[in-house]
Each structure stands twice: as C-alpha cells, then as structure tokens.
Structure 1
C-alpha cells in the first residue's frame, strides 16, 4: 500500500505528466498536489474539476444507472486531463486528477498506470 505522497510521485513518473492531484469532490478539497506550473495551477484545476465529477455523478443518478464512473477524459489542444474516480476500499468521494502533455503521453498506458496507482493508494 502506498501513501498519498508516494502515489502522487508515481503518477508524476507517468510519461508526459504535467501535474497530479488527489481531490475530494464532495468538499472540493485537494488532499495532495504535485507538478503543474505557471500555466496550470493544479489547485485551481483540481477544484474546478470537482464540478465536472459532481455533474456526471448527478447525471448517472438522474438516469438511474447503476454503473460507476471509472474515469473521465478531457482532451485539450495540447493536453489530456484524466480524472480517475477511486473505487477501491470505499474511497468513493475521491479522484485522481492527472494532466498530461498530449505530444509526450501514451493515453492508454497512462490510464493503465493510473489504475495501478489507484489500487495501491491507501488514504
């Protein structure tokens, strides 16, 4: 099992990673952040994406779907923003938010690595 800091460092090791955050979408609080930069404030981006997650969760509830969200992908001109909801061990209000450089990242591999990081994360 890995703690938050270790998991965030592993996520930053994913090819093309720009920044990563662990976020509680019920409160909007960020539990940990690494990376980012002058053009990407990870705290602002993580807080803003809580609205994306809340809207999708609410939509699934309104539709009466029993499915859970595995991940949400937002594709920008130069970046991928990957939101991975934590399903393991009852962490159903947390998500990992990973920003990737589109030119350097392998999206399939990044999704696989984020799934593995999620499985090892102990909050």
Structure 2
C-alpha cells in the first residue's frame, strides 16, 4: 500500500500529468506535492483546490437525489445550517461526492476524495495537460490510488 510520496509519484506516471498533490480540504494544506503547479505555487494551489473540494463536500446540491437529510441540526455537510447529509443511502461513507473534474482550455483538474476508516478530509489532486492527458484513465487510476493510499 503506497504512502503519500509513492502515491504522488505513481500519479505522475499518467500520460499528461503535470502536477499532483494530496491536500487536507479542511485546512487547505498540502500533505505532499510533486511536479508543476498551475499557478507556480503548490501551497496556493492546495488552498484554492481545497475551497472547491469543501464546497462540493458541504452543500446539498451535490448530494444524490434519493439522499435523506436530518433538518433538525446543522453539521459538516451543510454550512448554511439547514440540515446535514446523513449518508444513509450512500456507499461513500457520508460524502456525497466521489470526485470532481474541472476543465480549462489548457488542462483537466481532478480532485478525488480519499475515504478512510477515520474522519478523513483528504483528497488527491491531479493536473493533466489537455492535449496529452487521458481523462478516463486518470479517473480510474486516482480511484485506485485513493483506495490503496495509506496515510502515515
């Protein structure tokens, strides 16, 4: 089972990979990064992608249509105070989102949430070149890496 460094190096073997990171989305800190960064600063990229990941994980708009909510209390998946996503009908251990894909003119930005036995707030981030990257292969590989990743 790969650790952080091994996971990032494996992600960089994907066709078109330009940069990769493992980020804590609650703090916005990179636990590790490799390759290039879209804005030239790995820490700034980690903070910016954490904002996107946090929005996707916390708001109801991204929950499955058949999900059930507890409207009596505020919680970690709804920052507006209108109820929490309880994850009862979801196989993703509470998070309604598996991964995110952002497409720009020059590349693809993939965010894959890492599920752990503890309350994880970590995701894998991969930046792919749009001309040479293989989006389908990258999604499959990130899913595999997220399932095998061991956080030490």
Do the two structures share a fold, i.e. TM-score over 0.5? yes
Structure 1 or 2, whichever has the larger Rg, is 2
What SS class does the counterpart of residue 27 from structure 1 fall into?
A: coil
Structure 2 runs not aligned, ≥5 long: 61-76, 91-95
User: TM-score, with normalisation over the residues of structure 2?
Assistant: 0.74
**Aligned-residue RMSD, C-alpha:** 1.8
* 1:72-101 CA-partner distances (Å, limit 9, x unpaired): 111000100000010143362000010000
CA distance in 2 between counterparts of 1:4 and 1:38 reads: 20
2:131 matched residue in structure 1:
103
Highest RCO, 1 vs 2 (Cα 8 Å, sep ≥ 6): 1
Q: Aligned pairs, how many?
A: 123
Q: Which has the higher helix share?
A: 1
**1:1-123 correspondence runs (5 A):** 1-36=1-36, 39-60=39-60, 61-62=77-78, 65=85, 66=87, 67=90, 68-90=96-118, 92-123=120-151
Q: Which runs of 5+ in 1 are unaligned?
A: none
In 2, Cα distance between equivalents of 1:38 and 1:80 = 11
In structure 1, how many angstroms separate the alpha carbons of the residues matched to 2:134 and 2:22? 21
